[in-house]
Amino acid sequence: MLTELNNHKTSFFICPEDSCTGCTACMNVCSHAAISFIPDEEGFLHPSVDKGRCVNCGLCKSVCPVNTPVSRYLPEEVYSGWSNDGQVRLCSSSGGAFSAIAISILNQRGIVFGCTLNADLEAVHVGIERVEDLYRLQGSKYVQSRVEDSYKLAKQNLKTGRKVLFSGTPCQIAGLRSYLHKNYDNLCTVDIICHGVPSPKIFNDYKRHIAKKKRLRIENIQFRCKKYSWIFFSMSVNGYTEKGSARVEYIGNYYNDPYIRGFLRDNFLRPSCYSCQYCNIRRCSDFTIADWWGYQAEPGELSDFEKKGVSLIMCNSAKAVDMFTEIKQSMVLRQRTIEEAKRTNLSLSRPFAKPCTRDLFWKDYKTLSFDTMVSKYMYPERLTPSVYIWAKLPNTKIRRFLITFFVRCENLLRKLKCSFLIPHIHY
């Protein structure tokens, strides 16, 4: 796939192409600036080595986490919970666990690295030094980010003794740790339980698709808008009309937004994601965070979690356990087991399988319009009545009665092997 890109470069081999995660550890460690990252035909960045600059030291190969895996931790403590600060919770994708950890570091005059959307709405890693700037890093970004020089900046700060928090996907944290090549007491790392990283190329085409469809100039995007629900989150795109006279907001539900549907159908994840070595309970970061899907409220507990969100927090190292002792004061928590956590996220057990439609998806992508691709691969879900009611109606006694009734009917039909009789509704 990258042969054409490397015609003017050397054929120097760093790691197998389909195993490369794009972490950029190899580029950052190269003191001769011989490595650059170039997008392939699917939009994923891969290393390309300039033979005029390369001195064949082999450092890029040795630092690559694919070739030299980093050490892992087994979680020492597991929690479900959320921030005491309602605004922090609403601005977060789940319950605000990342914000609680980040605020702890920032209050100690540390620096926090994480993913944001830049002025061109591209996912990049940046560092922030003020709590007021935390909003830039809050919320999931369902697209692979560019680490750029964040590894180097993190190292510079670590060397001065400053506390550093670095957040990202597990492969990005593995890349950082391999690049640093030593443990720092003043470094804290946070990874996410990752479904896989979608193609930036698809994301760019999606933005153009929405801008054209809604006739707007996009100003910002929120991948996990909780305006109506945390469980059935939405894709929110905000901007101005083409003439700039009025604000426009597009909200695409979890079940009908083309980008979310395409992402969850796994057709445009990075190839390495289908065999990800980090999809298990052995973690490479101090903390692991995610959503606690399937959360069940305790007796007397408010059910506002359906809209506001619940975090899963795994303290994987002794450092994380020590840090979390203070952070606990700012959160409502329930201690859990790793087995309970595994039931909430499939990616704690295995990566998502490569779908049989992926190759055809990319073959079609070369010739079909984005609108046609949406109709063929990113179409809305058809829902059973019970799920439709759950997604559409507010949490009332009537909703709970209707859901119970339809679930029993659907289960009975399945038991009678008559599931084909279950009606489906287009969301």
Q: DSSP string spanning 335-359?
A: EE-HHHHHHH-GGGT-PPPPPTTHH
Q: Give the distance, in angstroms, between the CA of residue 198 and the centroid of all CA atoms in the same chain.
A: 9
Same domain as 191, residue 309: yes
Mean pLDDT of 256-276: 96
Instruction: Please compute the mean of the pLDDT values over residues 70-98 and round it to a whole number.
Output: 94
For residue 37, CA distances in Å to 50, 139, 284 come to 11, 26, 24
Residue 336 belongs to a domain: yes
393 against 72, higher pLDDT:
72
Q: What angle do CA 359, 148, 36 make, to 5 degrees?
A: 65
In this structure, the answer to whether residues 330 and 413 fall within a common structural domain is no
CA distances from 207 to 110, 197, 235, 309 (A): 34, 17, 11, 26
pTM, rounded to two decimals? 0.91
What's the mean pLDDT in 414-418? 83
Domain final residue pick, 299, 333, 348: 348
Measured CA to CA, the distance from residue 175 to residue 119 in angstroms comes to 26
* pLDDT 10s digits, 111-164: 999 999 999 999 999 999 999 999 999 999 999 999 989 999 999 999 999 999
Q: Which helix (H) or strand (E) holds 223?
A: strand 216-225
Domain encompassing residue 29: 17-63
Strands 111-117 and 123-128: antiparallel
Closest by CA to 267, choosing from 166, 177, 353, is 353
- Per residue in 301-342, pLDDT (tens digit) is 777 888 899 999 999 999 999 999 999 999 999 999 999 999
CATH number at residue 23: 3.30.70.20
Question: Are 190 and 125 contacting, i.e. CB atoms less than 8 angstroms apart?
Answer: no
**Domain contains 357:** no
Q: For residue 6, what pLDDT band results from cuts at 50, 70 and 90? A: very low
3-state secondary structure 58-116: CHHHHHCCCCCCCCCECCCEEEEEEECCHHHHHHCCCCCHHHHHHHHHHCCCCEEEEEE
Q: State the sign of the Cα–Cα–Cα–Cα dihedral 36, 37, 39, 42.
A: positive
How confident is residue 418, by pLDDT bands cut at 50, 70 and 90? Answer: confident
Q: What percent of the chain has pLDDT over 90?
A: 76
CB 121 within 8 A of CB 100: no
Q: 93 and 153 share a domain?
A: yes
* Separation CA 215–CA 208 (nearest Å): 10
Is the residue at 153 inside a domain? yes
- pLDDT for 8 beyond 70: no
3 state SS of 371: helix
User: Residue 244's pLDDT is what?
Assistant: 66
Same domain, 275 and 140: yes
Residue 245's pLDDT is 73
Same domain for 322 and 386, yes or no, is: no
CATH number at 108 reads: 3.40.640
pLDDT value, residue 392: 77
Distance CA 65, CA 423 (A): 48
Q: Is residue 29, in this structure, part of any structural domain at all?
A: yes
Per-residue pLDDT at 34: 94
**127, β-bridge pairs:** 113
Confidence at residue 62, expressed as pLDDT on a 0 to 100 scale: 94
> Which of 38-52, 290-304, 366-380 is predicted least confidently?
290-304
What's the confidence (pLDDT) of residue 124?
97
> What element of type H or E holds 252?
strand 247-253
Question: What are the pLDDT digits (tens) for 15-27?
Answer: 999 999 999 999 9
Choose between 417 and 360: higher pLDDT.
360
Whether residue 106 is found in the same domain as residue 29: no
Give the number of domains in the chain. Answer: 3
pLDDT tens sequence across 218-233: 999 999 999 888 988 9
Looking at residue 427, its pLDDT comes to 65
Residues 163, 308 share a domain: yes
160 belongs to a structural domain: yes
Q: How many Å apart are CA 326 and CA 12, to the nearest integer?
A: 48
Q: What phi and psi, each to the nearest 5 degrees, are found at residue 217? A: -100, 115
Quick check: is 53 in a domain? yes
In a shared domain, residues 82 and 164: yes
Where does 291-384 have alpha helices with state H? 305-308, 318-327, 338-344, 358-365, 370-377
Q: What are the strands, taking DSSP E only, across 147-202? A: 164-168, 187-192
Locus of tokens 């901007």: 239
Query: Residue 286: helix, strand or coil by DSSP?
Result: coil
274 & 393 share domain: no
Give the per-residue pLDDT at 11: 44
- Assess whether pLDDT exceeds 60 at residue 4: no
Query: Are residues 279 and 171 part of one domain?
Result: yes
Say if 5 falls within a structural domain: no
**pLDDT above 60 (res 397):** yes
Q: Residues 397, 324: one domain?
A: no
Looking at every residue in the chain, the average pLDDT score rounds to 91
Q: Are residues 44 and 92 in the same domain?
A: no
The reply to whether 262 falls in a domain is no
